[in-house]
Chains A and B, each alone.
Chain A
Amino acid sequence: MDFDIDYLAAQWPALLDGVLMTLQVTLLAIVCSLLIGVLGGAARVLKVPVLSQFVVGYVELIRNTPILVQLFFIFYGLPAVGMELSLFWSGVLCLSLWAGAYQIENMRGGLATVEHGMREASNALSLKTSHYFCLVAMPIAFRTSLPAVLNTSISLLKNSSYLQAIGLAELTFVAVDRIATDFRAIEMFSAICVMYLVLVGILALLTGRLSAHLQRPFRQ
């Protein structure tokens, strides 16, 4: 068993394409999941009738089923009832729905820490509910829920590897695809492990910076 570093150097362009695809899917899904999180969290906290019960059901469903089954349901199941999505968008949809459920819980946690007095104060200033939510509650809640939001985003990045199961050419798919032809499993997997570690590290670092930046006005 020898570790062939030249082989990896030769495969570098393919791996880089995989990383780019992983990043594209991940970033799109992070944005979508945050949107779901904010809207769902708002529905829960403002106790919008029907919608808030729906959100509870959605969160429970996503959290108590394997992401792989969700993915297969979206990619193979939905076309059977006339909802055909491309490979890429199936992946984005699956990851967004999965992470969205966790982001809702994160946002709800953040919004729960906003004092009731804030609501009363904005009522006294005759702010509309939408204004209160966007201008008062959200900025406060976002800061407190940021660590949890980042955690979910990192999990999302890792879970983007599930998309290889439907054949989206992201990092893991590229590696498995090459192993099938070249049998260089150790090299390939070591390489993508390092790449995932670096990606997770970068995301953690960036988010740590952001978090520190947002905390700045509150430091003594």
Chain B
Amino acid sequence: MNFLVENWAFVGKGLWMTLRLALVVLLFTTIISTVLGVLATLKNRLLWWTIHGYVELFRSIPLIVNVFFIFFGAPMFGLDLSPFAAVTTGLTLWGSANGIEIVRGGLESVSRHQWKSAWALGLRPWQIYLHVIAPQSMRAILPAYTGLLTMLVQATSLGALVGVSEFLKVGQIIIERETVMTGVSPAFAVYGVVLLVYFVICSLLSWFSRYLERRLGRPVTRATIDEGATCKSPKSAGA
């Protein structure tokens, strides 16, 4: 185990790269999913088919093929993408295909009455989205989106295959180095530790997703507010 302790700065760098990959992908995925997810709920045939096609395409192609396509294919189009850029692009395309579905499903889970009521109150479409639909759809979106984030963190390990020195790659390099120096492969221990670290990170995220689901899934009623109100009023009425 001591080679992991000796290499702690290197390991830390790898973890930081994994975090950076995940955050960059999360940022772009969120932007694309929000915009396209909202557009997919509009009643426009052409728009719907385009977005639907994009979602189905990227959900049907293996993620690794998608990343390799961008990594090996981009130079053919004259684009010189760094491994980091290739991985983030590939993961973003895949992540937003999943994200769009989550956002669209969340927006459509809000009852039609909310739309009609807001419309009747004279709100503009963007006001309806922003003040009425979005806050209510968060109950469906947030838990699923945290689940997607867990998958994204796991998917960043693909970076190791195209040469981004993220956490898994760092593990591989340490194994190679130790094997050359000592002649014994520490693969079992190193990959075991890598598994464990991913497990801790993703378990926390999964736990947070379940927490959100429980917390946001509670029925929205006035009961709690009314209770607070009625607690005092009888006393004050009696006094």
Contact = CB atoms under 8 A, between A and B. Distances in A.
B76 interface: yes
A189 B198 contact: no
A80 B186 contact: yes
A134 B150 CA distance: 35
B76 A186 contact: yes
Summarize A's interface: helix, strand, loop or mixed.
helix
B101 to A, nearest CB: 13
B157 A161 contact: no
Interface stretch (A29-37, A70-78, A121-129, A207-215): A70-78
Interface residues of B, number: 38
B94 to A, nearest CB: 11
Interface stretch (B65-73, B112-120, B125-133, B214-222): B65-73
Contacts of B206: 60, 63-64
Interface stretch (B6-14, B41-49, B56-64, B103-111): B56-64
B51 interface: no
A219 B71 CA distance: 49
A205 interface: no
B161 interface: yes
A15 to B, nearest CB: 13
B198 A66 contact: yes
Interface stretch (A46-54, A84-92, A104-112, A190-198): A190-198
B23 interface: no
Given A1-B77, A172-B65, A77 B60 contact: no
A68 B158 contact: yes
Contacts of B186: 80
A69 B65 contact: no
A61 B72 CA distance: 32
7 contacts: A61-B195, A69-B191, A77-B188, A158-B62, A159-B62, A172-B68, A186-B73
* A-B CB proximity, top 10 nearest: A64-B202, A161-B62, A66-B154, A66-B157, A80-B188, A73-B191, A185-B72, A76-B187, A77-B188, A158-B62
